[in-house]
Structure 1
Amino acid sequence: MGKRRRVAERRRTGPAVVGGMIAVVVGGAGVGAYALYGGGAAAEDNKATTAAAHKKAVKTGPLSAAEVATTAQTFLTTWQQGRLPQAAAATNDPAAATALLTGYAKDAHIQGLTLTPGAPQGAKVPFTVKGTVSYQGVSKPLTYSSAFTVVRRAEDGKPYVDWHANVVHPDLADGDTLVTGESGTPPVKALDRAGGEITEAKYPSLGSVLDGLREKYGKKAGGKAGIELRVVRGKESKAKKLSDKTVLELSKGTPGTVKTTLSPRMQAAAEAQVAKRARASVVVVRPSTGEILAVANSGHGFNTALQGSLAPGSTMKIVTSSLLIDKGLASSEKQHPCPKYFTYGGWKFQNDDEFEIKNGSFKASFARSCNTAFISQAPKLDDDDLTRQAQQVFGLSMNNWAIGVPSFDGAVPVQSAAQKAASLIGQGGVRMNPLNMASVAATVQSGSFHQPYLVSPEVDGRSLAHASRSLSPSTLSQLRELMRYTAAAGTAAEAMSGLGPDYGAKTGSAEVDGQEKPNGWFTAYKGDLAAAGVVQAGGHGGDTAGPIVASLLRMG
């Protein structure tokens, strides 16, 4: 009996000594099961301690100068040495970086790189690129500047190059590539209406226009392609209607010739005017024909004048006024409400400085740009009324303009409730550019829509867009009176001083989220000239875009 008891005791205590590991594993499993059902405080404490230790190990906060310098050196050195996987690993998007850096050597045929960093500006590191582009026995040196920003990755706290395509070359947008080879299209020699050659050196605003002309007319104009390094646009850039861009010409092709409608005198003046203000754009057209006489932007990258998509603010009231007059909801000389506030669709709208006009006419409201005079009519309009008016009378928002280069034709979507009301004063979903608003003024001046164009349709037999109807004589007469009165005694009077009596204008200010000052708009006509301009973040249109537009109209 005693012997059996000693054996049993040995059996009970033996595994605890001999099988200590087993006891730990079993204990762990038991704790795990318990934790699953709501217990395991000790295990949870261990997890919290481990997580806290891991979190403490991850660096946060601003990058040190040493981190920026080391990351920049690693990236630039490995790229220069052709160790592309290592260079890509120094970025926060290794897959995209590998693809573009590989194409840089393989498709762009850029060799013998020397990458020289400049002095970092905080986390931003400028650098210069020197190399040679070689293709089919033809070589040419390549030099340019670029930059990248070093960022701390949240997951591990390590510094990496913030990857975007423009790190490789400043003309690249994400999704674009660099390619060297026979140019996709032959070069073109663009001429102004007087037969003079148009060059980017002479007219800095026209770089993107020349790219667009080449893309559309290079093959049709009879030229022969050369060899070049060029930016080939990706999906996102094509959606924005950006054209391929020549970076370096290795051998010249034989250009074809394309004549445009641009006036050398007007274009030079437009360039000089927009240069006086940051982010300014302007377009001048001839109302009787639709010919584009000038296109200029103070920023020489994206062509806001032709391709911009901005809320036009109160210049849109020209289109809205034509609709209200057509429907009998307003008349130039008749009394029209202009209260301080008007609520519609849950939004409370107000006028600039909360002004009101008591017992005033619609003409007075238009000239002073009373928002509530237009918003107050929203309950009487169908959701698609403004869209149909813009399309049928002014030729807008149908994506069918064929001006000869890429352009945006305006957008006036069907909207309801508060957004419908906002659209009546050029906010909401309404989007325009100076080309569109110059065309609106031109339609009022000429009495009917003529699609603007930069290259005559006779050059390639293309069809121009048409509006399905014109304004009635009564509506047209009142609309001209509204714009004439605004130019003479309203918000446009200062800019348009001395240009009357055969003139008309409308100012606009468009609020932009996160922007301290609104975009300033101005559109006007004088004789057989119409123009529109915008100064982004400039403030009131009469003070900013107005002088630009008026100075060009004085040349008529």
Structure 2
Amino acid sequence: MLVSAVLAVFGAVTFAVAASSGVKGSAAATSADYFEAWSIGDVEGMARLVYQPPGDFRARHLAMSGELAVESIELRPGAVKSTGAETAEVPFSGSRTLETFGAWPFDGTLRLAVRDRQWKVLWAPETLHPLLKDGGTVEVVDFDGPSIELVTREGDKIPHNSYADSTLARLRPEFEDSNVGWALVARAPGRPEQRIMTVEPKADVERTTLSSSVQAAAARALDGVANSAIIVLKPGTGEVLAVADRLEGGYSAFHDFFPPGSTFKIITAAALMKAGLEPDAQVACPGSYSFPQRRAFTNDGGVDRGLISFTDAFAHSCNTTFVEQSLTRLGQQDLRETAHEWGFGRPMPTGAQGACGSIEDPADPDFAASNAIGQGTAIATPLCMATIAAAVQDGTWRTPRLLTKKQVTRIDGEPPAPVELDSRIVANLRDMMRAAVDHGTASGAGLPDDVSGKTGTAEVDGQRSHGWFVGFREDLAFCVFVRHGGSGSAAAVPVATRFLNGL
């Protein structure tokens, strides 16, 4: 107590002497003004209280606040201590609140002296923060956490031999922020780097909509089948239950377009029924048909089936029937408008993006005929054709997704609203696709009894045809695509058989 009293008296005498000698202000008043200006961010006011402030005084303060994302600062000055006749210091504690890390407490010392007959702050970088002494720096740096792991809807790991890698690779960059950590790092010459505060990366697991069992069955069905893909959807929600993509040459079942061949007859049949053609109506299925003065279209193998129901013309995939009926019943825009209703031209925000298909209004009857059988200007992705099968099963067209609705909206934007389809047409298409498996182009292939579907063979100039098969079974809808694999019946249906029997 005696020592403290003596020091207090000595300090008072010192300040009194300074005042009597014409020194302007006091250490207490100058320090109080400095702390007040500092607390409200008045850098210019602080600079006026500093003796010969460096040229970067303002820049240093602003940079520290900006680069560290300082939201606020709290300062708690201690008592003024005399350190000589015309020098003093004020110990203080403080806390900066950083946007990333929260409260960052620190201790410091404000030094003062009489300069040019007035009390001034003797500023040095360590006044701002002790870690800045001797050329020290403080900065926020990021660091990588573990790579994001995408798992199935059940939380299981997705095996590397599932053929889903190329699709999942498009998802991973969307979660880069979730596996980045942040550290407040101090550095100084001759001293080891110091991590002062750390924000660890967020959880590194993200669930997809993929089903462990369905994905496994799809992948095994493609074993040994090069240049192929299977996409499986849950019709009632649009969730992608499996995506096994073995397409070569950088092609993607989600993003690249191919002529859909006779699978597009689902759309053409819908347009013809809208125009009044009933499923039980008797239609001609000659081996060859040509519109007057136009090219001839033939059935596979030139088969002439005579007069049959429209349902059987669909089941047997009669090109000639669909060409004749389309040219005589449909207007120039009818097929395109129906295709749009069933998803063509609509965005597909899956989380990994995606596309459906497109078709142009025909310039002449030859193009109109080609469009009707999925050639000409008609193109679609395997993802798109899976949604067509799902729409038949469910009665509503909806965009597919690989993630939660919230994540898909964040990544790809708001998905288009579901489209409720004509219930009569949908019911008829279910019967027609059932007929295709029962006694049509997909019959006798060992498919389970409750499968409905439609084959497609898409011709490619100078190359082997693409094989397609789309269909549904209970609450699963699927598309099998074998690029340059040959006919849908020979190339795609056996893959679908292995997949469905492997579930």
Shared fold (TM-score, shorter chain, > 0.5): yes
1:367–1:543 CA distance, 2 compared to 1 (3 A): same
Deviation at 1:445, TM superposition (A): 0.7
Decide which of 544, 548, 552 is 2:491's aligned counterpart.
544
- The correspondence of residues 66-145 of structure 1 with structure 2, limited to 5 A, is none
- 1:478 — aligned with what? 428
Report % sequence identity: 31
Q: Is 1:410 aligned with 2:357?
A: yes
- 1:514 — aligned with what? 462
Q: Is 1:339 aligned with 2:275?
A: no
- 1:451 — aligned with what? 399
Deviation at 1:458, TM superposition (A): 2.9
The 1-side partners of 2:229 and 2:274 are apart by 32
The 1-side partners of 2:337 and 2:180 are apart by 45
- 1:119 — aligned with what? none
- 1:223 — aligned with what? 179
Deviation at 1:342, TM superposition (A): 2.2
Decide which of 484, 488, 496 is 2:438's aligned counterpart.
488
Decide which of 475, 485, 499 is 1:528's aligned counterpart.
475
The 2-side partners of 1:183 and 1:304 are apart by 32
Q: Is 1:192 aligned with 2:152?
A: yes
1:352–1:189 CA distance, 2 compared to 1 (3 A): same
Retained in 1: the 8 A contact 2:257–2:381? yes
Give the structure with higher Rg (CA). Answer: 2
Question: SS at 1:499's partner residue?
Answer: coil
- The correspondence of residues 139-538 of structure 1 with structure 2, limited to 5 A, is 187-198=147-158, 201-203=160-162, 205-219=163-177, 222-224=178-180, 256-299=204-247, 302-328=250-276, 330-344=277-291, 346-376=294-324, 377-392=326-341, 394-398=342-346, 400-417=347-364, 418-459=366-407, 461=409, 462-471=413-422, 473-495=423-445, 497=446, 499-500=448-449, 502-515=450-463, 517-538=464-485
The 2-side partners of 1:378 and 1:186 are apart by 59
RMSD of aligned Cα (Å): 2.7
1:463–1:550 CA distance, 2 compared to 1 (3 A): farther
The answer to which structure, 1 or 2, has the higher relative contact order (CA under 8 A, 6+ apart) is 2
Q: CA offsets, 1:115-166, max 9 Å, x none?
A: xxxxxxxxxxxxxxxxxxxxxxxxxxxxxxxxxxxxxxxxxxxxxxxxxxxx
Question: SS at 1:534's partner residue?
Answer: strand
The 2-side partners of 1:195 and 1:332 are apart by 45
The 1-side partners of 2:300 and 2:143 are apart by 53
> In the alignment, residue 429 of structure 2 is paired with which amino acid?
L
Retained in 2: the 8 A contact 1:530–1:553? no
- 2:17 — aligned with what? none
1:428–1:366 CA distance, 2 compared to 1 (3 A): same
Give the number of aligned pairs: 340
Retained in 2: the 8 A contact 1:508–1:521? yes
The TM-score, its normalising length taken from structure 2, stands at: 0.63
> In the alignment, residue 524 of structure 1 is paired with which amino acid?
G
The 2-side partners of 1:450 and 1:185 are apart by 36
Deviation at 1:269, TM superposition (A): 2.1
> In the alignment, residue 541 of structure 1 is paired with which amino acid?
G
> In the alignment, residue 435 of structure 2 is paired with which amino acid?
Y
1:333–1:194 CA distance, 2 compared to 1 (3 A): same
> In the alignment, residue 362 of structure 1 is paired with which amino acid?
F
Retained in 2: the 8 A contact 1:395–1:467? no
Q: CA offsets, 1:243-300, max 9 Å, x none?
A: xxxxxxxxx9877432101112221222222122121111111111111111112346
Deviation at 1:511, TM superposition (A): 0.5
Question: SS at 2:344's partner residue?
Answer: coil
Structure 2 unmatched runs, 5+: 1-141, 183-199
Q: CA offsets, 1:72-128, max 9 Å, x none?
A: xxxxxxxxxxxxxxxxxxxxxxxxxxxxxxxxxxxxxxxxxxxxxxxxxxxxxxxxx
The 1-side partners of 2:447 and 2:329 are apart by 39
Deviates more, 1:301-310 or 1:330-339: 301-310
Deviation at 1:455, TM superposition (A): 0.8
Retained in 2: the 8 A contact 1:312–1:432? yes
Retained in 2: the 8 A contact 1:189–1:255? no
> In the alignment, residue 528 of structure 1 is paired with which amino acid?
D
> In the alignment, residue 216 of structure 1 is paired with which amino acid?
E
Retained in 1: the 8 A contact 2:262–2:457? yes
The 2-side partners of 1:346 and 1:444 are apart by 33
The 2-side partners of 1:396 and 1:460 are apart by 20
1:185–1:408 CA distance, 2 compared to 1 (3 A): farther
1:332–1:450 CA distance, 2 compared to 1 (3 A): same
> In the alignment, residue 198 of structure 1 is paired with which amino acid?
I
The TM-score, its normalising length taken from structure 1, stands at: 0.57
Question: SS at 1:523's partner residue?
Answer: strand
Q: CA offsets, 1:356-383, max 9 Å, x none?
A: 2212111111111100111112243222
Q: CA offsets, 1:300-357, max 9 Å, x none?
A: 66353212211010010011101101110x2211101222222247322111111222
